[in-house]
Structure 1
Amino acid sequence: MPSADRIYRGGTIHTVDSSNPTTDAVAIADGQIIALGAADCDSVAGSDTEVVGLSGRTLIPAFHDAHVHPVLGGINLVHCNLDDIHGYRAYLERIAEYVRNHPEDEWVIGAGWYGDVFEGGFPHRHDLDSVISDRPAVFDSHDAHGCWVNTRALEAAGIDRETPDPDGGRIVRDESGEPTGLLFETAAELVKNLLPATTSSDVEQALASAQEYFHSLGIVGWQDAGVGVLTGSPVDTYPPYLSMAEGGAFNSKVTVALWWDRDVPYAEQIETLKERRDVIRRVESDRGFGGVQVTVVKIMLDGVCENLTGALKRSYRGHDHEHGLLMFTADELNEITRGVERHGFDIHIHAVGDQALKLAVDALTQEDGPAPGRRHQIAHLDIADPEDLARMASSELIANVQPLWARRDSVLVETKLPLLHDDQQAHHFTFATMRDAGVRLAFGSDWPVSSPDPIWGIHVAVNRTAPPADPHGQDEVAQNEPLLPGEEITVEEALRAYTFEAARANSYEDVSGSIEVGKSADFVILDSDPFDVEQRQLGDIRVETTISAGEVVYQRGWARSATK
């Protein structure tokens, strides 16, 4: 047994290991856990062992995010980012300030707006024209399913009242048929195809910035839910991942979910996916561990309910003939999933509406269900029919859910719930129902759709109300009126969903996600114990230190570049 490089003691240690839930010390050497408990840790202490006193603070496994978009999020940090504010005037003031400070930009690019701040729930080109009319401007919504552009951008793209809706998208128009400046789904590409080219170097910098941000939140592993050329992506994001893996730039545990492109022929696409997986495997083999694995294929099946593109079994309230959009027919989806699984990939399907969920479960359970050991997962499940949840549980499909969404914020109350019938609302973000059905929950953020802060996600999962400091949940209802009381889960369950279960969804549970001898030394030190604080104060807990494979990658008060 080697001597320990470092021993943590003097505080509460939650392991997320059911056979040994808490301990009082943990010893690490060469980035791995070598002992637990004071007696065993004392036995591996050497003359050079550093002893870190927790001083009553709490140590837990580091977090994993099972569904995130770090390239888009990292790029948003560079452009006109609206993510940390909420309000009509606040948006326009932030944009106007950015425009003044960037007179050289040919296009003004930004992201992060929420529809509830606009009259009627959606922005108009005239709003954007009021602060920028001399050049085109493009702003993605926080969920990346809507794009708000000004008049100059519409003109540059040649979009007018005669322009047809593209396949899989919608150009929103006013009562007279004129485009309003709001483009849904693939319609956004009509404008985005004109934007200045994003380079691989830009993507690498975005990933490095995202990793540093994740470390500050206690996240040491993530699944990028769509790597390749996808809707909203400025460039093929696989080569930058490969380059960074080759250079050892990730001190995190990263899972790449390769994007299934509906416009590329099936056979050709399967071969590309296999080739990309195999190249990364060779890199990992050559380096010992490259920080990246390619094990998943991501399939986008429907849109979101807020813009009527989430696929529902029953029509939207007030829109009797609108059931949403499906990107694939049932037969197409079945063929894709059969082929992808046959070639050894896990499958990650975006399914927001209950009709999309049904088709996803149908596809993943055909031919006697998933192959043994597969980590097939369905993401979002905004509206989930209990019958489909039962089928998920029996086939061991993972519910990859975003806990921060399960609260009555103004976006939900004003722009989404009015579109849903009462029975649909009753099946909305039903985490306790999923758990009781036997479905395993893995938590992800979908950042930049919403904050990647796991502490905030745990707060919402337990309280079903918004964290006190979240700028998008500051109203009285969001803070105090829980969404579907009875659908909350426990602190223990929420913590497990953001650690072990998320690591499992990312195929890293054998090396991370819990504190056990032999696993990677991936820890977070918190200023308070989530099991001791008052539940309504969970969102106020702060990350003090993040340790990834034994390396301190973040301490509150400082942050360093994650690249080596």
Structure 2
Amino acid sequence: MTDLVILNGRVMTFAGPDAEALAITGGVITAVGSNAEIRDLAGSARVIDAQGNTVLPGFIDSHVHLFQGAAELEYLNLHGVTGFDAIAAKVRLYSASRQDDVLLFANCFEYHAFGDAPTTRQDLDAVVSDRPFFVMASDGHTGWANTKALELAGLLHGMAVDEGSEIVMAADGTASGELREAAAIGPVYAYTPLGGREAAGSVTGADPIPIPTAKERALDKDILAKGLKYCAAHGITGLHNMDGNFYQLELLSEMEKEGTLLSRIEIPMHLKHTDPLDRLEEAAQMRAQYTSDMLWSSRIKMFIDGVIDNGTAFMLQPYPETDSCSAPLFTVNHFKQACIRADAMGLQISVHAIGDAGVRSTLDGFEAARIANGIRDSRHRIEHIEVINPADIPRLAELGVVASLQPLHSPRAGFFTPYEPGAILHEFQIDQSCPWQTLRSAGAKVVFSTDWPVVPLNVMQTIQGAVCGLDPDAPQMGAGQYQSLRASLASYTCENAWVEFNEHRKGKLQTGMMADIVVMDHDLEAMPPEELGTASAAVTICGGSITYEA
């Protein structure tokens, strides 16, 4: 007996011709066709009327930080808030509502929120001086702490941190307030309302210390459940997490057994540049232990560099008006050996690489793995690729490397302020940045995602950013890189199913595929491109079960 039918849709199958309707039985798509054909199969099944709107494979967000994103739904978001008065007004109102927090935490802070000069602890003291206060940049690679937060974390007079991280010091020998990268941010993050557990998989790549109590585990599961409901409300049926540890896997596995896991999730093992290669055995343990259709682990995540905005992205040319190219987090040999060993274990590798030297180093590591182990269908990934040297563009297709891109990261998309030539990038680097269509045209496989909570989880905002940008009045930066609507949607559905080695089971609407589906509230192809971001999910279905209904 058919369980569920969807009628009157503009069904983008990504498996041949479009259709009007489909039927679902036992969590699987059992028929796709015309309204008349599917209506005959309906019987007593529940009928969803798509009302002429687009029906798609469920969105797969292939680069998210679920635990952090879910936790930050509770925190103050300061994106676009600049100037002392505006910041102070929002923060003080928020502070009054969070009196029990040891550390007042806000996110999505602008790098120059107070003006051209770098933000200092004194700036934040002027906003909040009577309690520890910490703000995180959208990119998650830089944070700023007021004096009380620095004292709380034991950082006011500096502290030794891992290479690649920095506690920026002022001329008087005390911390300026700016903290760059994980090892510098971690001591403050430990005082968030969740005790930093939401970031352990990213900051340390290991499980939280001390071991969470039963009460803390219950709280964390509640936060994750809220995040998964939020994902379902955006039409998402699959997630590729970009930070990982056993703790997250344990919580999500419990949720799967309890029936509250609303999305399929892959969790990686996070290998830090400070880790010995033997730690890769944890990845093998994760892969062996978690193998369900809803929760699995078969990938490692590494960082080769930082971000452009704080000067930690690894560049081939020095940053403007400096003699610094930054440096890779891994040494050349350590990174290549990590790639070789992980590849030999049959693991997929995803590497955060933003600068052009970081991208080149990552490609060199993947090439070393190919030479050592032979060619295989690895689908290794480079995450972000914000600047790439033209000589390296063809190497992605040659090495079978996937370009995992986040359109809203690019100023071209209109969510962040466009780069000023000579500020943090040279003009020629701006011309080479975020080359979505250039990579696609060169034969690289391109997949799209958000990197939530760096940018909003709203899939259709990202789609609009890829197609035409969010702000038609914003300065255009490489408009020739914009994507077609169909290509953008494919990069969020069937291509993301492919990159997780599941193209034979999901990402297309055809008979025998998993019933992971989103019914939109608009006919996307009939919408003006500049309005795509206003479209949203009307119904989300994962495994044949409705996980969201507007």
TM-score relative to the length of structure 2: 0.89
Higher mean alpha-carbon deviation, 436-445 vs 93-102, is at 93-102
Aligned to 1:233: none
Aligned to 2:184: 187
Aligned to 1:307: 310
Given that 1:121 and 1:415 are in contact with CA atoms closer than 8 Å, whether structure 2 keeps it comes out as no
2:308 is equivalent to residue 338 of structure 1 = no
Residue 296 of structure 2 is aligned with which of 288, 293, 297?
Answer: 293
- Counterpart-to-counterpart distance in 2, 1:52 and 1:193: 46
Aligned to 1:226: 243
2:64 is equivalent to residue 64 of structure 1 = no
Shift of residue 251, structure 1, vs aligned partner: 2.7
3-state SS in 2 of match to 1:172: strand
Aligned to 2:432: 427
- Counterpart-to-counterpart distance in 2, 1:416 and 1:448: 27
Given that 2:232 and 2:262 are in contact with CA atoms closer than 8 Å, whether structure 1 keeps it comes out as no
Aligned to 1:387: 391
Unaligned runs of at least 5 residues, structure 2: 198-215
- Counterpart-to-counterpart distance in 1, 2:501 and 2:483: 24
Given that 1:466 and 1:479 are in contact with CA atoms closer than 8 Å, whether structure 2 keeps it comes out as no
**Cα deviation digits, residues 471-530 of structure 1 (max 9, x gap):** xxxxxxx74432212111111110100111122223332222121111112221222222
**Cα deviation digits, residues 84-128 of structure 1 (max 9, x gap):** 653334432222112112223222223221224331264322232
Aligned to 2:543: 549
Given that 1:215 and 1:554 are in contact with CA atoms closer than 8 Å, whether structure 2 keeps it comes out as yes
Shift of residue 411, structure 1, vs aligned partner: 4.3
- Counterpart-to-counterpart distance in 1, 2:477 and 2:349: 30
2:207 is equivalent to residue 213 of structure 1 = no
Aligned to 1:475: none
Given that 2:233 and 2:537 are in contact with CA atoms closer than 8 Å, whether structure 1 keeps it comes out as yes
The one-letter code sitting in structure 2 at the alignment partner of 1:63 is F
2:450 is equivalent to residue 445 of structure 1 = yes
TM-score relative to the length of structure 1: 0.87
Aligned to 1:470: none
- Counterpart-to-counterpart distance in 2, 1:354 and 1:256: 27
2:368 is equivalent to residue 366 of structure 1 = yes
The one-letter code sitting in structure 2 at the alignment partner of 1:372 is R
- Counterpart-to-counterpart distance in 1, 2:487 and 2:176: 44
Residue 22 of structure 2 is aligned with which of 26, 30, 54?
Answer: 26
Given that 1:115 and 1:411 are in contact with CA atoms closer than 8 Å, whether structure 2 keeps it comes out as no
Aligned to 1:204: 221
Given that 1:214 and 1:452 are in contact with CA atoms closer than 8 Å, whether structure 2 keeps it comes out as yes
Aligned to 2:481: 487
Higher mean alpha-carbon deviation, 403-412 vs 178-187, is at 403-412
Higher mean alpha-carbon deviation, 117-126 vs 29-38, is at 117-126
For residues 209-358 of structure 1, the aligned pairs below 5 Å read 209-228=226-245, 236-267=247-278, 269-281=279-291, 284=292, 289=293, 291-319=294-322, 321-358=323-360
Shift of residue 277, structure 1, vs aligned partner: 1.7
The one-letter code sitting in structure 2 at the alignment partner of 1:81 is L
- Counterpart-to-counterpart distance in 1, 2:178 and 2:501: 38
Specify whether residues 502 and 47 from structure 1 end up closer, same or farther in structure 2 by C-alpha distance, changes over 3 A only. Answer: closer
3-state SS in 2 of match to 1:155: helix
For residues 402-413 of structure 1, the aligned pairs below 5 Å read 402-408=406-412, 409=414, 411-413=416-418
Q: What is the root-mean-square deviation of aligned Cα atoms in Å?
A: 2.3
- Counterpart-to-counterpart distance in 1, 2:432 and 2:419: 18
3-state SS in 2 of match to 1:138: strand
Aligned to 2:209: none
3-state SS in 1 of match to 2:144: strand
Higher mean alpha-carbon deviation, 325-334 vs 498-507, is at 498-507
- Counterpart-to-counterpart distance in 2, 1:83 and 1:130: 17
- Counterpart-to-counterpart distance in 2, 1:241 and 1:53: 33
Higher mean alpha-carbon deviation, 325-334 vs 239-248, is at 239-248
Aligned to 2:379: 375
2:113 is equivalent to residue 96 of structure 1 = no
The one-letter code sitting in structure 1 at the alignment partner of 2:9 is G
Shift of residue 193, structure 1, vs aligned partner: 4.1
- Counterpart-to-counterpart distance in 1, 2:65 and 2:335: 23
Specify whether residues 51 and 238 from structure 1 end up closer, same or farther in structure 2 by C-alpha distance, changes over 3 A only. Answer: closer
Unaligned runs of at least 5 residues, structure 1: 230-235, 468-477, 557-564
Specify whether residues 51 and 191 from structure 1 end up closer, same or farther in structure 2 by C-alpha distance, changes over 3 A only. Answer: closer
Shift of residue 258, structure 1, vs aligned partner: 1.3
- Counterpart-to-counterpart distance in 2, 1:126 and 1:172: 14
Query: Stretches of 4+ moved more than 6 A in 1?
Result: none
The one-letter code sitting in structure 2 at the alignment partner of 1:461 is A
Given that 1:333 and 1:363 are in contact with CA atoms closer than 8 Å, whether structure 2 keeps it comes out as yes
Aligned to 1:474: none
The one-letter code sitting in structure 2 at the alignment partner of 1:453 is N
Shift of residue 15, structure 1, vs aligned partner: 1.3
Specify whether residues 84 and 339 from structure 1 end up closer, same or farther in structure 2 by C-alpha distance, changes over 3 A only. Answer: same
Shift of residue 221, structure 1, vs aligned partner: 0.3
Aligned to 2:206: none
Aligned to 1:170: 166
Given that 1:64 and 1:499 are in contact with CA atoms closer than 8 Å, whether structure 2 keeps it comes out as yes
3-state SS in 1 of match to 2:226: helix
- Counterpart-to-counterpart distance in 2, 1:262 and 1:246: 34
- Counterpart-to-counterpart distance in 2, 1:210 and 1:526: 20
Aligned length: 525
Aligned to 1:499: 493
For residues 1-80 of structure 1, the aligned pairs below 5 Å read 3-17=1-15, 19-20=16-17, 22-38=18-34, 41-42=37-38, 45-78=41-74, 80=75
3-state SS in 1 of match to 2:446: strand
Shift of residue 173, structure 1, vs aligned partner: 3.5
